[in-house]
């Protein structure tokens, strides 16, 4: 599908730094006119720029930290967040688990409940969920993204478009009041945005380091959240905003 080609073409240029029109025609087996139309759309995303004879990456965005490395950071905080987040889930509920190193900390606590359905595009979460046979697990397929250990693309979005969940647990690279929840990679932000658009009960799970941080792509407004689960009290401005929007803030005692 065209969306998959656009995503792959953008990543191809980002990985190499630059690409000519002829190179993209050969790589994606499409005509020059098709490449030009695709690039017109990709240029609007802001990650590529036009150069003579082709396109190049804009100033390189911060690379995605591998999931294996992120999993080791703030481990105690993530364990606490996972336990508190799971307490929001009741028997018989369906929940979406985002990709990320914190979301999989929820799963051991969900396994203690009855008839819970977990929907996820995260391979890491799927592997963890497989340890608990009493969980009902729905895997969202798509193109595998090794940097985030998750599946993305049109198949993932198509599956999500047919589903609504009782709760959706979302992770973010950064959170600000002005831009809301942000993420570094286009593919992941696309999935997160689809979940946020389709569902009402959105729960942000993020440790204290994410507040005030900013990434390239906004996928959800702060005001859309139903709850925030974090490891420390929010900064004063964020707490005031949460109170104003009726967002429940949950932290360890």
Burial class (CB within 10 angstroms; exposed 0-12, middle 13-18, buried 19+) of 130: exposed
pLDDT at 180: 96
Looking at the fold, whether 201 and 240 belong to one and the same domain comes out as yes
Q: Where are the alpha helices (DSSP H) in 88-219?
A: 107-110, 123-129, 154-160, 186-198
In this predicted model, what pLDDT tens digit does every residue of 57-105 receive, in sequence order? 875 444 455 554 544 455 788 889 999 999 999 999 999 999 988 888 9
Q: Are 133 and 157 in contact (CB under 8 A)?
A: no
- In whole angstroms, what is the distance from residue 114 CA to residue 225 CA? 26
Task: Please tell me the total count of domains within the chain.
Answer: 2
Contacts of 31 (CB under 8 A, 6+ apart): 25
10 and 72 in a single domain? The answer is no
**Mean pLDDT, to the nearest integer, of 207-233?**
92
Same domain, 77 and 149: yes
Give the strand pairing for 174-176 and 117-120. Answer: unpaired
Question: 0.95 exceeded by the pTM?
Answer: no
Which residues have CB under 8 Å from 169's CB, separation 6+? 85, 95, 96, 97, 98, 103, 106, 203, 205
Do 208 and 238 fall into the same domain?
yes
Listed residues 13, 37, 57: the one ending a domain: 57
For the ranges 58-62, 82-86, 164-168, 169-173, which has the lowest average pLDDT?
A: 58-62
The reply to whether 208 falls in a domain is yes
Tokens found for residue 85? 């987040």
Task: Read off the pLDDT of residues 141-154 as tens digits, 9 standing for 90 and up.
Answer: 888 988 788 999 88
Enclosing domain of residue 146 = 67-250
Half-sphere exposure of 131 toward its Cβ, with a 13 Å CA cutoff?
Answer: 12
Q: Any long-range contacts for 62-70 (C-beta under 8 Å, 24+ apart)?
A: 62/184, 62/215, 64/147, 64/148, 64/184, 64/185, 66/147, 67/99, 67/100, 67/101, 67/124, 67/147, 67/148, 67/149, 70/100, 70/101
Lowest mean pLDDT among 128-132, 224-228, 245-249: 128-132
Long-range contacts at 28-33 (CB < 8 A, ≥ 24 apart): 30/5
51 lies in the same domain as 72: no
Same domain, 52 and 74: no
pLDDT higher than 70, residue 135: yes
Q: Which two tokens stand for residue 32?
A: 């020059």
Give the tokens for residue 63. 């690379």
Final residue belonging to a domain, choices 32, 57, 82: 57
Do 110 and 235 reside in the same domain of the chain?
A: yes
Helix (H) or strand (E) holding 183: strand 180-183
Is the same domain home to 51 and 108? no
Reduce the DSSP state of residue 170 to 3 states and report it: strand
- For the domain that residue 22 is a member of, what is the CATH number? 1.10.10.10
Is 134 inside any structural domain? yes
Q: State the pLDDT at residue 1.
A: 67
Same domain, 176 and 246: yes
Is residue 62 assigned to a domain?
no
Contact 158, 143 (CB under 8 A): no
Give the CATH number of the domain where residue 150 resides: 3.40.50.1360
Q: Are residues 83 and 110 in the same domain?
A: yes
Tell me which of 32 and 45 has the higher pLDDT: 32
**34 domain residue, yes or no:** yes
Same domain, 72 and 183: yes
Residue 121 in any domain: the answer is yes
Residues 96 and 134 in one domain: yes
């Amino acid at each position: 599908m065209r969306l998959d080609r656009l995503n792959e073409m953008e990543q191809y240029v980002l990985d190499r730094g630059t690409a000519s029109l002829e190179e993209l025609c050969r790589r994606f087996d499409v005509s020059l006119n098709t490449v030009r139309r695709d690039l017109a759309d990709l240029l609007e995303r802001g990650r590529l720029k036009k150069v003579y004879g082709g396109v190049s990456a804009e100033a390189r965005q911060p690379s995605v930290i591998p999931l294996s490395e992120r999993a080791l950071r703030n481990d105690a905080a993530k364990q606490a967040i996972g336990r508190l987040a799971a307490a929001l889930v009741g028997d018989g509920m369906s929940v979406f688990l985002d990709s990320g190193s914190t979301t999989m900390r929820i799963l051991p606590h969900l396994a203690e409940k009855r008839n819970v359905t977990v929907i996820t595009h995260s391979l890491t979460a799927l592997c963890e969920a497989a340890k608990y046979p009493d969980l009902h697990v729905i895997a969202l397929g798509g193109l595998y993204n090794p940097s985030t250990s998750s599946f993305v693309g049109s198949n993932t979005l198509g599956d999500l478009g047919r589903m609504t969940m009782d709760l959706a647990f979302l992770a973010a690279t950064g959170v600000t009041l002005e831009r809301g929840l942000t993420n570094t990679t286009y593919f992941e932000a696309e999935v997160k945005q689809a979940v946020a658009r389709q569902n009402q009960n959105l729960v942000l799970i993020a440790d204290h380091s994410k507040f005030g941080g900013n990434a390239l792509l906004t996928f959800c407004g702060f005001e859309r959240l139903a709850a925030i689960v974090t490891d420390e009290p929010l900064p004063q401005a964020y707490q005031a905003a949460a109170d104003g929007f009726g967002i429940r803030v949950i932290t360890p005692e």
